[in-house]
Amino acid sequence: MAGDFIPVNTPGLSGNEKRYLAECIDTGWISSEGPFVTRFEEGFAAAVDCAHGISVTNGTDALRLAIAALGIGAGDEVIMPSFTIISCASAVTDAGAVPVLVDCDPDTWNMDVSQIEARITERTRAIMAVHIYGLPVDMDPLMALAHKHGLRVIEDAAEAIGLAYRGRPCGGIGDISTFSFYVNKHVTTGEGGMVTTSDPALAEKCRWYRNLCFDKQRFRHTELGWNMRMTNLQAAVGVAQLERLAETAATKRRIGMTYMEAFADLDAVQLPVAGNEAAENAFWVFGMVLDDKVPGDAETVMRAFAERGIGTRPFFWPLHEQQVYLERGLFAGERHPVTERIARRGFYVPSGIGLSAADQERVIATVRDLLG
């Protein structure tokens, strides 16, 4: 193995993170009651042009909270892409509702909006738009379709922090939006998440469900909720991260475009879309899909990268091929060919905010050697 191992993600923690964490410790405010929680919620909501931000423990809980706040339950249907992380579906099935899947676009890898209307039934309650890998879903026709059929829109913008769609911040377009602050996101708190909305009734429900559904008199309950509260320690890191979001976004864009230029002549892989009339790619990750003429699959190529000390990750596995759901009788016989293909032939290379120029050059040289 040549050189040190280059992980697929290295976070950037060079701002006020240490100072704000020390402030939490010095003041004793380390639980969810601390002042950084409100500061982070208000700052993040403003960044996505929403009136309300409700911080939570992780992105999966943000999705669960959004489903609960919308009153989605047993027998209801939520349309979503098959090409996404399982959290999107599990938040729906945990509520007793049913995920209804569409395939993705072969170029952008986002959900194919043209397939949505055919999947709408009398049981459909919402559409979950999941922005994939740093390029947004085509939201204008999706929102028009939702309005036409009286549906709510859940916007999963976990991979689109700091990204704008036609000048509007992702996470501020749908009725309710969700974010993850896992370590590989543009804003990280280690773990953590956020729900944003401009609907005060939805915001109130989210805060209620997040805090065990306490009644006006504490320890009395008329409904069951969860403890999904973010700590002041996490929020302190989030505030520091949010202060540097523009810088982080610019760095990620630069890393992505450096790869685009370096691999422009490679015909062995499909590269991401650098941008379109709606948005520039934020390059949350830098993915590529093997051309059909390349032997093997993504796993084969990823092993070769690992042998040379380069970290990679596979693309999402199709929801309609997840064993846990097939065993429950969901998605039987479904085919979503674009999702199936890119799941087997797609992977991404190191592009974390802490990636050095020298390490990126080593990744580029390795990609060209193995695939050029």
**pLDDT at residue 1, rounded to an integer:** 42
Burial state string for 339-348 with b = 16 or more CB within 10 A and e = fewer than 16: bbbbbbbbbb
Give a yes or no: residue 111 inside a domain.
Answer: yes
The CATH number that applies at residue 229 is 3.40.640.10
Question: Within this chain, do residues 177 and 259 fall inside the same structural domain, yes or no?
Answer: no
Q: pLDDT digit string (tens) for 66-76?
A: 999 999 999 99
Give a yes or no: residue 127 inside a domain.
Answer: yes
Domain around 299: 245-371
Q: How many residues does the structure list for the chain?
A: 372
Question: Within this chain, do residues 38 and 143 fall inside the same structural domain, yes or no?
Answer: yes
Average of per-residue pLDDT values in the chain: 97
* Residue at which a domain ends, from 243, 270, 299: 243
Q: What is the mean pLDDT of residues 213-230?
A: 93
Amino acid at residue number 302:
M
Question: Within this chain, do residues 170 and 41 fall inside the same structural domain, yes or no?
Answer: yes
CB 140 within 8 A of CB 164: no
**Residue ranges in the chain assigned as alpha helix (H):** 17-27, 35-47, 59-69, 86-94, 139-149, 200-210, 232-243, 245-262, 298-307, 323-326, 337-345, 357-371
Whether pLDDT at 2 is above 60: no
Quote the CA–CA distance of 151 and 260 in Å, as a whole number.
Answer: 38
3-class SS at 9? coil
CB 272 within 8 A of CB 286: yes
Give a yes or no: residue 281 inside a domain.
Answer: yes
Q: Which residues pair with 211 in a beta bridge?
A: 227
Residue of 292, 284, 288, 261 lying closest to 272 (CA atoms): 288
Question: Within this chain, do residues 178 and 262 fall inside the same structural domain, yes or no?
Answer: no
Question: Within this chain, do residues 346 and 312 fall inside the same structural domain, yes or no?
Answer: yes
For 160, 169, 219, 372, the CA distances from 187, given in Å and listed in that order, are: 10, 15, 34, 34
For 32, 55, 100, 356, the CA distances from 75, given in Å and listed in that order, are: 34, 28, 12, 49
* Residue at which a domain ends, from 198, 224, 243: 243
* Residue at which a domain ends, from 208, 243, 278: 243
CB 260 within 8 A of CB 271: yes
Give a yes or no: residue 7 inside a domain.
Answer: no
By CB neighbour count within 10 A (0-12 exposed, 13-18 middle, 19+ buried), where does 23 fall?
middle
**Number of folded domains that form the chain:** 2
Give a yes or no: residue 264 inside a domain.
Answer: yes
Whether pLDDT at 198 is above 70: yes
Question: Within this chain, do residues 261 and 235 fall inside the same structural domain, yes or no?
Answer: no
Question: Within this chain, do residues 225 and 256 fall inside the same structural domain, yes or no?
Answer: no
Question: Within this chain, do residues 54 and 195 fall inside the same structural domain, yes or no?
Answer: yes
CB 347 within 8 A of CB 302: yes
The CATH number that applies at residue 292 is 3.90.1150.10
Q: How far is CA 91 from the centre of its chain?
A: 14
Q: pLDDT digit string (tens) for 222-280?
A: 999 999 999 999 999 999 999 999 999 999 999 999 999 999 999 999 999 999 999 99
Q: pLDDT digit string (tens) for 53-105?
A: 999 999 999 999 999 999 999 999 999 999 999 999 999 999 999 999 999 99
Question: Within this chain, do residues 235 and 276 fall inside the same structural domain, yes or no?
Answer: no
Question: Within this chain, do residues 54 and 119 fall inside the same structural domain, yes or no?
Answer: yes
Q: How sure is the predictor about 3, in pLDDT bands with cuts at 50, 70 and 90?
A: low
Give percent above pLDDT 70 in the chain: 99
Quote the CA–CA distance of 10 and 13 in Å, as a whole number.
Answer: 10
For 35, 103, 284, 291, the CA distances from 316, given in Å and listed in that order, are: 37, 13, 14, 18
Give a yes or no: residue 149 inside a domain.
Answer: yes
Give a yes or no: residue 8 inside a domain.
Answer: no
Query: What's the pTM?
Result: 0.96
**pLDDT at residue 78, rounded to an integer:** 99
Question: Within this chain, do residues 85 and 33 fall inside the same structural domain, yes or no?
Answer: yes
Question: Within this chain, do residues 342 and 295 fall inside the same structural domain, yes or no?
Answer: yes
* Greatest CA separation for the chain: 66
Amino acid at residue number 189:
T
Residue of 184, 179, 143, 177 lying closest to 161 (CA atoms): 179
Give a yes or no: residue 284 inside a domain.
Answer: yes
Quote the CA–CA distance of 68 and 194 in Å, as a whole number.
Answer: 14
